[in-house]
Amino acid sequence: MNVIEETATTTIDGVAGNAALILGELTGVVSGLDYGQLSRFAHSVGAAERVFLAGAGRSGLVLRMAAMRLMHLGLTVHVAGDTTTPAITDGDLLVVASGSGTTSGVVKAAQTALAAGARVAAITTDPSSQVAGLADTLVVIPAAQKTDHGSGLSRQYSGSLFEQALFVVTESVFHTLWEATAEPAEKLWLRHANLE
Tell me which residues are annotated as active site: 163
DSSP 185: H
Which H helix or E strand runs over 153? none
Nearest to residue 43, comparing CAs of 107, 126, 115, 119? Answer: 119
Nearest to residue 88, comparing CAs of 103, 105, 76, 99? Answer: 76
Taking the C-alpha atoms of residue 172 and residue 152, their distance in angstroms, rounded to an integer, is 27
Taking the C-alpha atoms of residue 134 and residue 141, their distance in angstroms, rounded to an integer, is 17
Taking the C-alpha atoms of residue 59 and residue 74, their distance in angstroms, rounded to an integer, is 23
